[in-house]
Every structure is written in structure tokens, then in C-alpha cells.
Amino acid sequence: MIFLLSLWLSKLLSIIISACKLGQASNFPGKVALLITNDFLTHFKFNKEIKIILITGTNGKSTTCGLLCNILKSAGCKVITNKAGANLLSGISSTLSFHSDIFGNIEEKYLVLEVDEATLPLITKFIKVNFIAVTNLFRDQLDRFGELDTTAKLIEKGINNCSNATVILNADDSRVAFLKANNKKIYYGINRVIPEGSPLNDKIWLNDPQENTVCPECKSELVFTTKLMAHLGNYKCKQCNFKRPEPDFAVSGFKADDLIINFDISSNSFSQSKNNFFLPMIGLFNLYNALCSIAIAKTILNVTSVQIQKGFQSYSTIFGRGEKIIIKDKTAWLFLIKNPTGTTEILKTLSTVPNARFLIAINDDFADGRDVSWLWDARFDILSNHKKDIYVSGKRAEDMALRLKYANIHQDKIHIQENIVAGMNKSLKSLDSSEILYILPTYTALLELQRKGICKAAPKD
């Protein structure tokens, strides 16, 4: 009875919040329900055939989740999912309460949730899940010492709560592949391919940002035969037997150009030996997200290649992850940058685009990371052959300008305009008719553009 009361209160709150335009009601209603009933999630009555899929990991949760939902929808499935970022207990409680009837019944057959790494054990304690996917484990400079290991242990705990769930793991991330669980495991990874358009710096100490080069089993050094980005690749321990597991779903080749990634997948679960897809996104990290979504979709349901492709095509990008805007006949694209690896991947792609112009907006609020040191780990040297003027904006525009100076961009070509909107207007004005502006903002810089109505936040559902 108490559950029903908290459910109704939660539903009522979400109606009020939406009606009064107080926000997206993605967290608060669940938060209140949890205050009244702390095991709120256990009381929902799911469809008997329901498949519950959780996606966790440091990067790519929202995108993978969005791509998977789209694939399932194109296969005719009814799917419930949480809003991008509403991935804590309160957000997930809000999602379930919103989608259930007044008695807590949920009719849909697919529940796809992105889950914060630390929240995973809480969710799996309350509901029986069928699939858990782990995308990768990165650590950024915001984190405390030792947290990567702590995060991995929380995920292990979350998986161990559901011994019957199948886990879908990124084989290319040593710490993810190493996760200890007796569950059935499915691996995905990108096989030995030389990525195109990946400029190497002649000074090896200036190459791509990397981390996690230690064997999770015996702490010796890991040796890589291929490294695709950051610490993701084909690895083997120097001392013990630990090595990358053979992927069940593997990208066997890919080509990235014109803001599209074209790739082949080989897997026994497809009827053909080679399956070609194209993804309207940039950056190798998105190839990993797409691969993960395929691995999940194929594991839970026999979707066809056509349905997968349809799912990719209908995917409208989520907030700032590649959004096209048109202002006064000028075209601009927005790509959120937040860490060295992601930024480097975006720069690799955009540096090959002819007639590209850049506006880089760096803030240092808490959500951006207060330390701008990471700019020095990102490979801005990829822009060293860029002949056109570059605009820099945001609270740390001067630091960005200095970084560009060290990327061999001539000082006269760097224009500082701290105000982001002014920076955007000025850079748009400087475009000739053939040029396209690529805006690379950090998180709060992007929020600022959104608040000014310049870009929109497209929710993934």
C-alpha cells in the first residue's frame, strides 16, 4: 500500500513538473518515492516476457543506450528507457514510475537503462535483470586516486547480484574484460585494423593520451599489438596469462570519412560472414558504442542487419554529440569535448574535413573539470596544418589559445572571445560560403549555447 502511495505521489509530481514546465521530471519524482519506500523498485510488476538490459561504464552509456533502443524499435519492439543522464537510482525510479500504470504494472517487453557505475549494484539488488553491458572504464582527472579499481569492484558487485544475467563486455578494455563474474559472457571488440586518418606525431611522447597499461591480474606491464584509442586495443600481459579475450562480435574493418563511419562486423550470430553498416557519427568511440549496441541487440533478439542499419539511420544525436545547427544561412556542427581521448578522436576526424573552421569553447566549472591541464594531453597538434583562423571562447579561452600556440598555430590566427555567443557570432561571420563551422564546447559551454536557444537538447527517446 505504501508502494502505491509513493507511486501515485511520484506520478503526480511528474505531471505537475511537466505541466508547470519546471523541468524534465527525470529525477525528482523518483527521489521522493524513494524517500517513502526505499525498496521502491522491487514492487513493480513487469511483463512476464520482459527483457531488462542495463548499460554501464565510464563513456558511451547514453549513446549505446540510444542506439540500442533505436535498433529494437526498428525491429518493432516497444521499449522503455531512461532520459540521458538520469542514470542514478532516482532517475531510474522516475522512469519506471512514469511508464507503469497506477498499480505499478509495466506492459512493455524491453526495458533499456543506462546506469551509473556506482548505482549498478543498487539496481541489481532490487530488480532481476537479464543483460548487463559494460562499455569501458576510464578515469579522468576529476577522480580520486584508486577510483578505477573501486569502480570496477562496484560493477562486479552489481553483476554478482544477478548470476543469471548475461554480461556483454568490451574485450578491448583490459579492466572490463577482467571483471570477475561467473555469468555467461559475450565479448565485443575491434580487430586488428589500422585506423585510417590517424596522424602520428613523430615524437612518441606526444602521441595519443593513454592510460591503464597495467595488468589487472598481476600488475605487470601490458603489451599491446594494436591500440585503437587510449588504452583500448589488443593486449597481453608480459608476465601472466592474461590477454584480450576473443570477441564474439568483432569489427573486422572500418573507414571513417565525411562524418560517417563505415564498418564491417564479423560474428557467428549473423547469417552472412561479413556485414556492412554505416553510422552517421564521428569518432572511434562511437564505433565502440555502435558495436556494443549490435552485440546487445543480437544477443537478446535476432534482429536483422537491415533493422540495425535502420536503427542507426533514425538515430538523432543526443545533446551536443554531433548536432547540426543553421544560423543565418551558415552551417555549424556541435561536438561536445570533455576529455583528452574523446577530443583527440574528434580532432582526427574533423582535421580531414575540407573547409572546416573551428570555434573551441573551454569552461572550467565543476561539470567540465576544473583543471584545464587535460587540454595538453589532447592532440591539438593534429590541427597544426590548419591554415584558417581559429576562434577560442569560454572562461578559459586564454588557456586554449596558449595550447593552440603550442600546436603550431600562428598567434595571429588565434582569436580570443571569452563570451561564447559572441565568439560564435564572430566566427560564423568570418565564414565564407563554402566553409562549415565546427564548434567544440565543453559541457557547461554547451549548456550555455542551449540556454540561449542556439542548440537544442534532443533527448534520446
Contacts with another protein, residue ranges (CB under 8 A): 139-141, 144-146, 148-149, 203-206, 209-211, 213-214, 219, 221, 364, 370-377, 396, 398-399, 401-403, 405-406, 411, 414, 416
Residue closer to another protein by CB (options 140, 461) is 140
* Shortest separation between residue 155's beta carbon and another protein, angstroms: 17
Residue closer to another protein by CB (options 47, 150) is 150
* Shortest separation between residue 138's beta carbon and another protein, angstroms: 10
Smallest CA-to-CA distance from 437 within 372, 346, 360, 363 is with: 360
DSSP 8-state class, residue 88: S
Residue closer to another protein by CB (options 201, 272) is 201
**Number of other CB atoms surrounding residue 418 within 10 Å:** 14
Report d(CA 325, CA 455) in Å as an integer: 7
CA angle centred on 165, ends 192 and 272, rounded to 5°: 40
150, 126 contact by CB (below 8 A): no
* Residue 155 vs residues 85, 180, 268: alpha-carbon distances, Å: 18, 9, 28
The number of angstroms, rounded, from the C-alpha of 272 to the middle of its chain's C-alpha atoms is 29
Residue closer to another protein by CB (options 128, 238) is 238
Smallest CA-to-CA distance from 234 within 172, 188, 288, 289 is with: 172
* Shortest separation between residue 405's beta carbon and another protein, angstroms: 5
* Shortest separation between residue 414's beta carbon and another protein, angstroms: 7
* Shortest separation between residue 225's beta carbon and another protein, angstroms: 16
Residue closer to another protein by CB (options 248, 381) is 381
User: 284: Cβ–Cβ under 8 A, 6 or more apart, which residues?
Assistant: 190, 195, 228, 229, 256, 345
* Shortest separation between residue 380's beta carbon and another protein, angstroms: 11
* Shortest separation between residue 170's beta carbon and another protein, angstroms: 19
Residue closer to another protein by CB (options 214, 458) is 214
Residue closer to another protein by CB (options 179, 303) is 179
352, 383 contact by CB (below 8 A): no
Report d(CA 166, CA 176) in Å as an integer: 14
* Shortest separation between residue 232's beta carbon and another protein, angstroms: 15
Longest dimension (CA), the chain: 69
The DSSP-derived string for 194-252 is: --TT-PPPSSGGGS------B-TTT--BEEEEEEEETTEEEEEESSSS-BPPPPSEEEE
Residue closer to another protein by CB (options 103, 406) is 406
